[in-house]
Amino acid sequence: MKKHPLVSIITVNYKNEEDTLAFLHSLKKAEYPAIEVILVDNAADYHNAENYKKAFPGVIYIFSSENLGFAGANNLGIERAKGKYLYFLNNDTVIEESSILPLVQAFENNPNLGAASPRIAFHSNPSLLQYAGMTPINFKTGRNNMIGNHEKDAPIYQITQDVGYAHGAAMMIPTHLIEKIGLMPTDYFLYYEELDWCEKIRKQDLEIKVIGKSRVIHKASAAVKTNSPLQTFYMTRNRLIFMHRFASKEEFRTFWMYFNWVVVPQKRLVYLLKGNKQGLAAFNQAIKAAKNHFKNQALPIEMYRTAA
């Protein structure tokens, strides 16, 4: 590349200053020379621009007193971005020094590339991968697989290859694509936004790839406790909304039977056997909320919006 195009790095902080500061410090080591960093402080208790600007001078700080969710907060960042490429990074990630350039080169060399992610390793054990791609979703079961998950990082994963979906923790797209696919869909609130985007990108006949030469370290679920009622609610509800939105009518009928006859009884039994009343309540509430969404009715989710 004769000239390095500007990359707008967008990250969202949700009551997690420690990880956000570590993330910003890691960006100072980035070897790529043309970046702007946009930090959206989502549902912040107070305006904290000074601390973040000390960690990364020049950071564009956006304060939101309201919890806008993952998509809503990222959309604020998109509106301020000036880069040719948008690079969405979770605030609990740490980029490696050379991780940006391979992504940019992939887009510069392939005008048909719509979205790309680096391979992602676990912060607790960087030799293990969290993500080296995802397979496409089976629209009759709603299932897919994460490629490389909990596998040892190896040359087989350090290549560029087509994947079903990019990963929302580290995802780059060309800025001009927003005109075609729109801003991040805010009705999910948390989880599935990048899958929705990837389906829209695919409908533009564009490619989605993992760029294996690039790697990011991810602390994974630092902002949302794994298997919490909050995660159970949104993962369940949003899976149903996603399937309703993108599966064909025939596929969705098959999926709906599979979900109600197989998934629901199995999940409820597990919650009961474990005595997880909160998890069971969140699961049941998620199904009701999704059904309301199908009917374009108001969603009874306010109690979960402030949960942590």
Beta-carbon-side half-sphere exposure of residue 78 (alpha carbons within 13 Å) = 19
Within a 10 A sphere around the Cβ of 125, how many other Cβ atoms?
A: 11
* Domain housing 236: 229-305
Helices (H), ranges, the chain: 17-27, 49-55, 69-80, 100-109, 178-181, 193-203, 229-246, 249-258, 264-274, 277-294, 302-305
Residue 33 domain-assigned?
yes
Residue 1 domain-assigned?
no
Residue 57 domain-assigned?
yes
Q: What gap in Å lies between CA 137 and CA 141, rounded to an integer?
A: 8
**Can you tell me the mean pLDDT for 268-272?**
96
Q: What is the pLDDT, as a whole number, of residue 298? A: 45
φ, ψ (nearest 5 deg) of residue 85: -125, 145
pLDDT tens digits, 96-114: 999 999 999 999 999 999 9
Residues 49 and 189 in one domain: yes
The answer on pLDDT for 230 being more than 50 is yes
CATH of the domain at 176: 3.90.550.10
Q: What is the pLDDT, as a whole number, of residue 48? A: 82
Give residue 307's pLDDT band: very low, low, confident or very high (50, 70, 90): very low
pLDDT tens digits, 123-137: 999 999 999 999 999
Q: What is the pLDDT, as a whole number, of residue 299? A: 44
Residue 22 and residue 218 in contact, taking contact as beta carbons nearer than 8 Å: no
pLDDT tens digits, 45-100: 878 889 999 999 999 999 998 999 999 999 999 999 999 999 999 999 999 999 99
Residue 121 and residue 41 in contact, taking contact as beta carbons nearer than 8 Å: no
Q: Residue 91's Cα: distance from chain center in Å? A: 11
Residues 143 and 212 in one domain: yes
Residue 2 domain-assigned?
no
Residue 138 domain-assigned?
yes
Domain tally, the chain: 2
Residue 300 domain-assigned?
yes
Q: DSSP label at 240?
A: H
The average confidence (pLDDT) of the chain is 91
Instruction: State which of 218, 241, 271 marks the end of a domain.
Output: 218
Helix (H) or strand (E) holding 61: strand 60-64
What is the chain's percent helix, strand, coil content, to nearest 5?
40, 20, 35
Q: What is the pLDDT, as a whole number, of residue 1? A: 59
pLDDT tens digits, 169-221: 999 999 999 999 999 999 999 899 999 999 999 999 999 999 999 999 999 75
Q: What is the pLDDT, as a whole number, of residue 47? A: 82
Comparison of pLDDT for 226 and 288, the residue scoring more: 288
